[in-house]
């Protein structure tokens, strides 16, 4: 396979400004592969880090964002026999240093050497170059083969699926018959609904404000949607569970009132999983949490190789992320892609760009 020495890439040249430039195509080192990027999705963390640099982010003019992508393996680094050229793959973002105490115990998304490239940590699209480019290098730990039944746009959402699965693993995993409430009908919420059903949860509630997204929630399996503008979700869930509450509540909205809402609708001995990032401190009633033995779990990212589990779930047809990818653009229209995502134009949920199809 002939790989051009130059490629097109979206460079963050200043705050909130991406510029398509021609740069050197990277080469894979030991335990790495080179991927030609077919699709890279826009994530709200991209929006955030473009406005104000995150920890360990490369300087303006040197940094290609994008951490949610999929494509084809086009070259193998030394020692790699886990993949072959031509493999269709999707990626996860975090490669731990593999030497701190968290990494040693398998918790590489909570690496204590985050951003320390010298010690081996990498987070493509955060601290190293990502997927808003025609080619990108990934350590094999962050690469997963995908079935032919999943197109690249859908596949680019792998970390979303991996993150939700990691959340379910973290709360204990076995939830046959348990009632689940999901707050926030965005990508993580809509995937949470599907995973809950795929793991044989009892009744699954989805709570939000946008009717269009709640409708998608129904399509992907929510047993009951609650529009906060029309009903009080705590009352509804308490009533329908005979005053007990949900066994598991998953907060994905990041809303400032959502954590307290989550607590209130959780059963005695129940669990809360927090995935959505509230931008600022929030008020919660710990008295309720403690008096009823509730516990609060969080995950950051797609840890413990849950993306590999996600591939299996995808292949089985038990989850379907296609309805989440509402818009796709060529790489050169990346700014339009971001605007579409941020402004939720045309009911946008997830928006991707497709660099490989760009004429180079």
Site for a second copy in 142-201 (CB under 8 A): 165, 168-170, 172-174, 176-178, 198-200
CA proximity to 123, closest of 242, 301, 262: 301
Place of tokens 């005695």: 268
CA dist., res. 27 & res. 13, Å (int)? 23
CB of 276 to a second copy, least distance (A): 8
Choose between 9 and 80: whose C-beta lies nearer to a second copy. 80
CA dist., res. 39 & res. 36, Å (int)? 9
CB of 150 to a second copy, least distance (A): 14
Asked if 224 touches a second copy (CB under 8 A), the answer is no
CA proximity to 249, closest of 300, 316, 312, 181: 181
Query: Which helix (DSSP H) or strand (DSSP E) does residue 271 occupy?
Result: strand 266-274
Binding residue count for a second copy, defined by CB under 8 A: 77
Q: Which of 13, 286, 345, 347 binds a second copy (CB under 8 A)?
A: 286
Q: Which of 16, 48, 293, 360 binds a second copy (CB under 8 A)?
A: 293
CB of 232 to a second copy, least distance (A): 18
DSSP 8-state secondary structure symbol assigned to residue 200: T
Site for a second copy in 76-95 (CB under 8 A): 79, 82
| Contacts with 254 (C-beta within 8 Å, 6 or more apart), sequence order | 184, 276, 277, 278, 279
Choose between 24 and 105: whose C-beta lies nearer to a second copy. 105
Query: Which helix (DSSP H) or strand (DSSP E) does residue 238 occupy?
Result: helix 233-240
Task: Single out the segment in contact with a second copy by CB under 8 A; choices: 205-213, 232-240, 304-312, 337-345.
Answer: 304-312
Task: Single out the segment in contact with a second copy by CB under 8 A; choices: 110-118, 124-132, 337-345, 350-358.
Answer: 110-118
CB of 106 to a second copy, least distance (A): 3
Q: Which of 48, 84, 212, 295 binds a second copy (CB under 8 A)?
A: 295
Residue 150: burial class (beta carbons within 10 Å; 0-12, 13-18, 19+): buried
* Tokens of residue 308, six digits: 């590999």
CB of 159 to a second copy, least distance (A): 15
CB of 305 to a second copy, least distance (A): 5
CA dist., res. 274 & res. 297, Å (int)? 6
Q: Which of 277, 322, 345, 347 binds a second copy (CB under 8 A)?
A: 277
CA dist., res. 37 & res. 131, Å (int)? 6
Site for a second copy in 44-73 (CB under 8 A): none
* Tokens of residue 107, six digits: 């918790």
Task: Single out the segment in contact with a second copy by CB under 8 A; choices: 33-41, 60-68, 101-109, 211-219.
Answer: 101-109
CB of 56 to a second copy, least distance (A): 13
Q: Which of 3, 20, 23, 289 binds a second copy (CB under 8 A)?
A: 289
Site for a second copy in 4-43 (CB under 8 A): 31
CA dist., res. 107 & res. 289, Å (int)? 26
CA distances from 100 to 103, 113, 142, 229 (A): 5, 7, 18, 46
Q: Which of 63, 69, 83, 108 binds a second copy (CB under 8 A)?
A: 108
* Tokens of residue 337, six digits: 């892609």
Choose between 133 and 137: whose C-beta lies nearer to a second copy. 137
CA dist., res. 181 & res. 270, Å (int)? 11
Choose between 2 and 176: whose C-beta lies nearer to a second copy. 176
């Amino acid at each position: 396979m002939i790989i051009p020495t130059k490629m097109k890439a979206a460079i963050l040249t200043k705050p909130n400004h991406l510029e398509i430039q021609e740069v050197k195509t990277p080469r894979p080192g030991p335990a790495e592969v080179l991927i030609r990027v077919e699709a890279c999705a826009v994530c709200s963390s991209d929006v955030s880090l473009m406005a104000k640099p995150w920890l360990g982010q490369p300087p303006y003019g040197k940094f290609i964002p994008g951490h949610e992508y999929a494509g084809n393996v086009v070259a193998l680094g030394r020692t790699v026999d886990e993949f072959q050229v031509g493999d269709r793959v999707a990626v996860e973002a975090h490669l731990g240093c593999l030497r701190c105490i968290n990494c040693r115990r398998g918790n590489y998304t909570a690496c204590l050497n985050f951003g320390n490239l010298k010690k081996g940590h990498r987070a493509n699209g955060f601290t190293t170059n990502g997927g808003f480019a025609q080619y990108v290098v990934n350590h094999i730990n962050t690469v997963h083969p995908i079935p032919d039944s999943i197109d690249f746009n859908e596949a680019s959402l792998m970390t979303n699926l991996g993150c939700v699965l990691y959340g379910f693993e973290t709360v204990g995993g076995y939830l046959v018959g348990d009632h689940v409430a999901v707050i926030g009908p965005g990508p993580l919420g809509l995937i949470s609904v599907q995973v809950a059903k795929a793991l044989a949860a009892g009744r699954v509630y989805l709570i939000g404000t946008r009717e269009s997204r709640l409708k998608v929630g129904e399509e992907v399996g929510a047993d009951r949607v609650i529009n906060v503008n029309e009903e009080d979700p705590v009352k509804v869930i308490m009533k329908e569970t005979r005053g007990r509450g949900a066994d598991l509540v998953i907060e994905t909205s990041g809303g400032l009132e959502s954590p307290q809402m989550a607590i209130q609708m959780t059963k005695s001995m129940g669990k809360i999983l927090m995935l959505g990032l509230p931008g600022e401190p929030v008020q919660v009633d710990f008295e309720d949490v403690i008096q009823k033995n509730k516990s609060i779990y969080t995950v950051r990212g797609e840890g413990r190789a849950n993306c590999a589990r996600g591939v299996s779930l995808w292949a089985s047809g038990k989850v379907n992320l296609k309805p989440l990818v509402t818009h796709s653009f060529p790489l050169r229209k990346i700014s339009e892609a971001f605007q579409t995502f941020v402004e939720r134009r045309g009911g946008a949920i997830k928006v991707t760009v497709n660099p490989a199809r760009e004429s180079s």
